Amino acid sequence: MNDVNLRPINMHWVEEGDPYLDCCVHGGIYFQIDSYVVCDGNETEWTISTAAFNFLRSIFYDHALLGEEPLIPHCGFNMWAVKGQPDALYIPNCDTKVNWSIRHRGDQVIHEFVDGTTIETSLTTWKRAVCKFADEVYEFYQTAWPKVITDEDDRKGFELFMSLWQERRARANHDASSIDN
d(CA 137, CA 133): 6
pTM exceeding 0.85: yes
For every one of its 181 residues, what pLDDT tens digit does the chain have, with 9 covering 90 and above? Answer: 579 999 999 999 987 789 999 999 999 999 999 999 999 999 889 999 999 999 999 999 999 988 778 999 998 778 889 888 778 898 888 888 999 999 999 999 999 999 999 999 999 999 999 999 999 999 999 999 999 999 999 999 999 999 999 999 999 998 644 444 4
The tally of CA atoms less than 13 A away on the side-chain side of residue 146 is 7
What ranges do the domains of the chain cover?
4-174
